[in-house]
Structures are given as C-alpha cells and as structure tokens.
Amino acid sequence: MGKRNNAQVFGDLFKIAAMLPWWAGLPLAAVAYGVLHHYAVAELPIHVAPQQISQLIIPAALKGLAMYGQYIVPLPFVAGAAASFLGRRKRSGLVRAVAADCSGGAMRAMDWRDFERLVGEAFRMRGFAVTETGGVADGGIDLKLRRGGESFLVQCKQWRAAAVSVGVVRELYGVMSAEGATGGFVVTCGRFTRDAQSFAQGRSIELIDGPALTGMIETTRKASVVSPPSQPHSTQAGSPPKPSQVPSCPHCGSAMVKRTAAKGPHPGRSFWGCPSYPRCRGIRPIL
C-alpha cells in the first residue's frame, strides 16, 4: 500500500509539473531539493538523557527520509518539465502541419489526443490559459480556458464521419450552467447537425468545425507577427485602428471588426463585432 501511495504522489507531482511551463518545473525541483537537503544534513544531538531518547525518534526518521527524498522527490518535477517542453514542441508541430495543409487532411488524420492538443494550442495562441482535462471528468469537458477573469469550457470531437449532434451541445450547456462559465466551444474536424447549430444560437456557445479551426489558426499566426513600434503621434480621424488597438472577441478570440448598429436600442452607434457573425455573436463596446 505504501509503494502505491508513493507512486500516486510522484504521479501527481509529475502531472502538476507537466501542466506548467517547462521552465517552472525546474525551480520546483530545486526548491524540493533545498528543503529536503536542509533536513538531511541537520545534526541530531549526540548526548541525551535516557528519558529523552524517545524525543529523537521523529527527527531521526525525518532525517532518514530526507536523505533519500532529496534525490527522489525532485525527479518528478524534472520529468514533468521535460514532458512540458516536449509537449509544447509537439503542439507547435501540430499547428504548423494544419496551417500548411489547406485540404484539412492533416487534421483528420490525427488521433483524438493530438486533436485535443491542437485545439488547446489554438486557444493558447489566442491568449487563453488552457487546462487539459482529457474529458475524464467534468462532464466530458476536454479543455478549460481562462482569460481576463472569464472561464470557458471546450469539448473536442474528433469525428470524421458522424456529425456532432445537438446532444453534445446540450451536455456542454449543462456543464456551463453548473460551473458558471462565461461561454463554451464545441470543436470538431467534421460538421454539426442543424439541430446542434440551432441550439447553440443565443447560448454563448460557438461551434467550430475543421475549416473554422484552420482559419482561426491561420489568423492567429498572421496576427502574431509583431509590427515595429511606431513613433508616438495622434491618430487622425477616420484612420484604421492599429493592430494593438483591435480587441479580441470575448467568445472565440478572433480579431474583431468595427460595425454600426442598424437597429436595436442604439441605432447608428459603432461597436466591435466578431468577424464570424452570425456563427459567433461576441461584441465589445467602443470606449
């Protein structure tokens, strides 16, 4: 039982380090070594009274555990950092493969795990903090996103033939309501049924199929090219906004475009709208 518990603890430490950026796992390993080394080299009293010997049992046991632990405990942090580094390289490779393949064959050829990695990296490129759950718990949720104090849930469906049904979207909406998420995404390399599309309307759920995911990746890769900083000057009226002034959609992360309300409570007023409208209805006010 002890060995099983130790293996579970080391496995949990490895998972924590693997979820963090690779450079964060190495300091954790150094801290673990430093703390345990402190106890490993601590000196115990040599001359004690016979009635005080029992008081040395716990310090001596801790010293013995620290002697071995100072070399063993840092290992899962180092291994997790290596896994994080290799995983990030793999995710970047998946993004490059999809961006270079206009036919969508590279995406359809992925297994479900690589497809989740691809989707997670696509949202990470959009500025989201991504947690991969693997869909084991949390109602089948594969990814949890956070950005600007808002949370979003993602289901990934690597379905090549069958269309994603309305049941999948309903399931996501139920988990969103239970967790108080701002919005949600269902991502597939295939397609969605009409019932699924109808149900998603007006419920802060965006359905992303293969072509839309490819377009999202391409748009983000182009936007990641940083323009050289310009000299400070006043913006002339009517000039197009600079890339740094264009906000991202609160739902899908796309670079937004200026629109003018034709109807509603504020006709004629300008606002930022998602370029994927009506599939995505994210808006932001122009301040």
Q: In the prediction, which pLDDT does 24 show?
A: 86
Q: What is the pLDDT of residue 252?
A: 66
Q: What is the per-residue DSSP string for the chain? A: -HHHHHHHHHHHHHHHHHHS-HHHHHHHHHHHHHHHHHHHSPPPPSS--GGGGGGGHHHHHHHHHHHHHHHHTHHHHHHHHHHHHHHHHHHHHHHHHHHH-TTSHHHHTS-HHHHHHHHHHHHHHTT-EEEE-TTSSGGG--EEEEETTEEEEEEEE--SSSPBPHHHHHHHHHHHHHHT-SEEEEEESS-B-HHHHHHHTTTTEEEE-HHHHHHHHHHHHHHTSPPPPPPP-PPPTTPPPPGGGPPBPTTT-PBPEEEE-SSSSSTT-EEEE-TTTTT---EEE--
pLDDT of residue 266: 62
215-218-221-224 Cα dihedral, nearest 10 degrees: -60
Residue 173 tokens read as 């909406």
Check residue 139 and give its pLDDT.
57
| Residue at 227: amino acid letter | S
Question: What are the 10-residue block averages of pLDDT along the chain, 287 residues in total?
Answer: 67 81 86 90 74 72 87 90 85 85 83 90 89 65 91 90 89 93 92 93 90 85 54 40 58 72 68 74 71
What pLDDT does 91 receive? Answer: 84
On whether the pTM is more than 0.85, the answer is no
Q: What token pair was written down for 216? A: 């999202």
